[in-house]
Structure 1
Amino acid sequence: MENAASLNRLELLQVADAVAREKVIDRDIVLEAMEEAIQKAARAKYGHENDIRANIDRGTGEIRLARVREVVEEVDNEATQISVAGAQREKEGAVVGDLLIDPLPPIDFGRIAAQTAKQVIVQKVREAERERQYHEYKDRVGEIVNGIVKRVEYGNVTVDLGKADAVVRRDEMLPRETFRQGDRIRAYIYDVRQEPRGPQIFLSRSHPQFMAKLFGQEVPEIYDGIIEVKAVARDPGSRAKIAVISNDPSIDPVGACVGMRGSRVQAVVNELQGEKIDIIQWSPDQASFIVNALAPAEVAKVVLDEDANRIEVVVPDDQLSLAIGRRGQNVRLASQLSGWDIDILTEEEESNRRQAEFAERTQNFMTALDVDETIAQLLASEGFTSVEDITYSDVSEIAEIEGFDDEIAAELHRRAQEYVELTNSELEAKRQEMGVSDDIVNLQLLTPAMIVALGEAGVKELDDLADLSGDELISPEDGILREFGLTADEANQIVMAARAHWFDDEEPETDTADAANEEEIPAG
């Protein structure tokens, strides 16, 4: 009997070692799970109300059971507590807070108890395994991993990574790509999350960084940090653009990524199911970079609007379809790569637009300043876009225009001021007639014409304006002030200025409360 007991103890430790090795978790975690299972079975035998603890000797495997009671002044639960007097009868010198430990005889596991114990152990080991997986993979976000397809359900692929399972969702796969059980798969870890059912490792083959990391594996210069991947844009399975720069002037980043006879880029293309890849030289100059990004199309000129983060690109007429790409793909990828909104015009469209703008400005100057076409054209060609521009300029600046003298310049300046004053007074009358609040008039950045436009849209009180968003003011489709060329920052400033009184209202309450407190102190 003694030999049998020793054998059982030995087997217990061997099982714990085997489970710990198989699941790659700490042996102590397995033994703690066994102790918890034995405690559960012992409580079923001796009563669940008792505090029964099991201990497995880490060296011999011997199981010790004990009932634990805490020494207290006033007993609430006789099963787990004992009074000081009662404790002192059992153990001399017992004081409040001591634990009385009464050894219990070992129990024989019945079939149900053994089954319960097994469930507890399996559950604990699974939890420990999940915890290990989470800590192992949470710091590996951004890596490429290889695995074997375990199963495919509703287009989602479960991948066996060896020590853990991961998921590639249908929308993270390449279009028309299919995997079967047993296939090898390479993917990018983009997220690891703790969820109620355990850690979830999410993989992607459509993520832009998957392509960047593949280049890192194929191009030693990227791995060594000589060449840097600055930006990536992908239309998964169809086309992609990657912007690279070399930290060594003697190395061509584009050539290094292409490789001898295209071997390096071809390896990435093959992994991405034939996705076409444009490799582009990155430039700190945004205009040059966007010209590169629109390759293979040729660009005639660019006009940047930094406030709106928008760039206008002019291309020769025969390059328009190439610049836009099939279904707008080329310009869309270039926009993603650069972070700029890109408008593409042909040279003819740009020329026509410029002529139309010039003619419109000329006509405005003729009407507003009562001048002939020649003078109006001279003003327009010198860069004046509105009558207000003339009022903001010095007479001496206007006089420098070829064909003008001081007298003509002064007269034009006077007429511009008269026109602006007359227009503003008409707008002011219209504003009052519509009942737009003086509080709105006092806001900076708003011109009289903008205030009337707000009034026509029903924005008449400060709170009406404060309830709007910047986008509702400048949205190209239906923005109230879309015709006034405001930037997103300026629109947000107007809205925040309108909201300022909300916060001012809170301050007097605080001041009043402070004053009341100060008055009460001497009285107390």
Structure 2
Amino acid sequence: MGLKSHLLGLEEDKNVALRTEFAAALNQAAAERGVEPDDVLDIIKDAIKSAYKKDFGGETEEIDVELDPDSGLAKIFKDKVDVTPPGFGRIAAQTAKQVLLQRIREVEKSAIFSEYEKKIGTIVNGMVQRVEGPNIVVDLGKTESTMPTTEKIPTENYRLNMRLKIYIVGIREGHRGQEIVVSRAHKGLVEGLFKLEVPEIGSGIVEIKGIAREAGSRSKVAVSSRQAGVDPVGSCVGQKGVRVQAVIAELGNEKIDVIAYSDDPPRFVAAALSPASVDKVRADEKTKTAYVEVPDDQLSLAIGKDGQNVRLAAKLTGWRVDIKGAEKLQEEEKPSSKVLTEEKGGDKKVKKVTPKAKKEAQTKTKKASKKKNEK
């Protein structure tokens, strides 16, 4: 039996009492809602005070309420004088009940939000409850949460009662007060799923150094090992790929590339372009640009559909990535002409020049011709 069945019964002899077993009802109500009994007592005092001000005093009138936590006996005081009016119990009971229930809901909601505030950045289980405009309302058990359009996986269809794992992004002010925001598109969901599936990550032996994600399509995860002899990529992939496949399945078959992190930029960039093979990488520290050479048959794979592979590699490494096929690079570096240069003694030698040198030579020739014509 909850507190609703044990509301205020007030005597006309200036005493206010709860009807039956006040202490038991108080503790039960507190336990059911996950709040402290003292918090419920404060709510009841405020309810009694509100009821008195409504029917017997003014809103600005200062009064105090004394409430016995064992018996529920209450008295109203003004300037330390007992002013509990005759008949107050019958008039105040309904008002007190309404205020009491409203305040309990507020305390309950506050306790729930405090609980989920500690869970920001973690994964929880949820169930699709309904659709509200562009948003999905997800039931978390104790309360509801909101999944905005920006936090959905674009390729995922959300059905009523669909169970899924979600990432808690934070708490924000919505049109109906505070709301918990959850996500299926956040890269934190990928990290959290790997923590659940890979014991080495949970224990800290393997560390996730970075994640680049385009939700619903592809993610790249860079990992490293803190313990010699432990293969970070192998740990995440698992025997016969069982671990990474579990993550992929939870994300609706989103492709996942697990790569080895490296402090050496060329090596890290080359790994980030997986599954493509890379011939060599030259890193320009000033512009933070990585110039990548790949076999011609790997160029399309390295760039990816609509540039996705190279885009994710750049996001993961923090470097601009300029990819060219080996044949194109050879064409650019191939001598395109021969020019004769005179040396001392009248000997003539052939010097190979690149397109850049050719252009400079042509410019000099044009200037010389112009001067000759002017004469």
The TM-score bracket by the shorter chain reads 0.7 to 0.9
The alpha carbon displacement at 1:228 in A equals 0.9
Q: Which residue of 2 aligns with 1:474?
A: none
Structure 1 pair 161–232 and aligned structure 2 pair: CA distance change class (3 A): same
Would the alpha carbon gap of residues 158 and 58 (structure 1) be closer, same or farther in structure 2, given more than 3 Å must change?
same
Q: Which whole-Å CA distance do the structure 2 matches of 1:63 and 1:106 have between them?
A: 13
Q: Does 1:118 align with 2:91?
A: no
Deviations 1:317-353 (A, max 9, x none): 2211111111111111111111111111122322333
2:28 and 2:228 mapped to 1: Cα distance? 57
Deviates most, 219-228 or 47-56: 47-56
Consecutive unaligned residues in structure 2, runs of 5 or more = 1-8, 343-347, 361-375
Counterparts in 2 of 1:344 and 1:128: CA distance versus 1, 3 Å: same
| CA 1:6–1:32: 2 relative to 1, 3 Å | closer
**Aligned equivalent of 1:67:** 78
Question: Is 1:140 aligned to residue 119 of structure 2?
Answer: yes
Counterpart of 1:101 (choices 81, 88, 104) is: 81
Which residue type is aligned with residue 291 of structure 1? Answer: A
Q: Deviations over 1:295-321 (max 9, x none)?
A: 121112222122222211111222111
Equivalent position SS for 1:104: coil
Please give the per-residue CA displacement for 1:87-126, whole angstroms capped at 9, x wherever unaligned: xxxxxxxxxxxxx434434643456x44432332233222
* CA distance, structure 1, for counterparts of residue 72 and residue 17 of structure 2: 10
Tell me if structure 2 keeps the 8 A contact 1:65–1:106: no
TM-score scaled by structure 1?
0.59
Mapping 1:206-221, distance limit 5 Å? 206-221=185-200
Q: TM-score, normalised by structure 2?
A: 0.80
Match of 1:29 among 39, 54, 58: 39
Query: Residue 374 and residue 128 in structure 1: after superposition, are their counterparts in 2 closer, same or farther (change >3 A)?
Result: farther
Instruction: Summarize deviations over 1:273-316 as a string: whole Å, max 9, x none.
Output: 11111111111111101101111211122221222222111112
**Contact conserved, 2:11 with 2:89, CA < 8 A, in 1?**
no
Cα distance change, pair 283–294 in 1 and its aligned pair in 2 (3 A) = same
Q: Please report how far the alpha carbon of residue 263 of structure 1 lies from its aligned counterpart in structure 2 after TM superposition.
A: 0.9
Q: Secondary structure at the match of 1:34?
A: helix
**Number of matched residues?**
343
Q: Which has the larger radius of gyration?
A: 1
Question: Alpha-carbon deviation of 1:212?
Answer: 1.4
Unmatched 5+ residue regions in structure 1? 69-99, 367-371, 387-524
- For residue 53 of structure 1, what is the amino acid of its counterpart? D
* Mapped partners of 2:353, 2:201: distance in 1: 56
In 1, the alpha carbon distance for the partners of 2:223 and 2:76 equals 67
* Larger relative helix fraction: 1
SS of residue matched to 1:137: helix
Identify which of structures 1 and 2 has the higher relative contact order when contacts are C-alpha pairs closer than 8 Å and 6+ apart: 2
> In structure 1, how many angstroms separate the alpha carbons of the residues matched to 2:75 and 2:160?
48
Deviation at 1:269, TM superposition (A): 0.9
The residue that corresponds to 2:210 in the other structure is 231
The 2-side partners of 1:106 and 1:44 are apart by 15
Distance 1:260 1:159 in 2: 34
CA distance in 1, matches of 2:104, 2:226: 49
Amino acid at match of 1:284: D
Amino acid at match of 2:29: V
| 8 Å contact from structure 2 (residues 16, 74) kept in 1 | no
RMSD: 3.4
The secondary structure found in structure 2 opposite 1:261 is helix
* 1:50 aligned partner: 61
Residues 466-505 of structure 1 aligned to structure 2 (within 5 Å)? none
2: distance between equivalents of 1:124 and 1:153? 27
Q: Is residue 298 from structure 1 mapped to residue 281 from structure 2 by the alignment?
A: no
Alignment of 1:336-415 (within 5 A): 336-355=315-334
CA distance in 1 between partners of 2:192 and 2:241 (Å): 18
Partners of 1:134 and 1:193 within 8 A in 2: no
SS of the residue corresponding to residue 284 of structure 1 reads coil
| Distance in 2, Cα, partners of 1:349 & 1:3 | 96
CA distance in 2, matches of 1:305, 1:149: 48
One-letter amino acid matched to 1:30: V
Aligned residue for 1:18, secondary structure, equals: helix
